[in-house]
Amino acid sequence: MNSRQATTTLWRPTGPEELELVHALNRRAWPPRLPEQPIFYPVLNEDYAIRIARDWNLKHSGVGFVTRFEVESEFLTRYPVQQAGGETILELWVPAEELDEFNAHIVGEIQVVHEFR
């Protein structure tokens, strides 16, 4: 019997400060949100994450990263997919107070897959 749970690939565009905190957490969790960040929002496709990292993080931080990570699919069903713009602008909205539980369902490491400078 296969005990491995199905996972869903998510992406997150991020700047250098957040990425440093991810590394401090052994690339296995996202850091707590700041008070002005009530929602953690990973995205459902790589192209959208690339656009944010390249067009927003790079402009605001001098560098933008795209991360990729796996989360248990069954756990993610509690978060409806949010369409935040066009057809491919899809996000999950995880309330900040649920981030520890979200992190507990990450499978493997959070990996940097793109870097923009």
| Cut 0.85: pTM above it | yes
- CB 111, CB 57: distance < 8 Å: no
Q: For residue 40, what is the enclosing H or E element?
A: strand 39-40
Q: Where are the domains of the chain?
A: 7-116
Q: For 21-65, how does the pLDDT look when each residue is reduced to its tens digit (9 = 90+)?
A: 999 999 999 999 999 999 999 999 999 999 999 999 999 999 999
Domain 7-116 architecture:
Alpha-Beta Barrel (3.20)
How many alpha carbons fall within 13 Å on the CB side of residue 34? 4
CA atoms of 28 and 26, how far apart (whole Å): 5
Residue 91 carries which side chain, given as an amino acid letter?
Answer: E
CA atoms of 81 and 2, how far apart (whole Å): 28
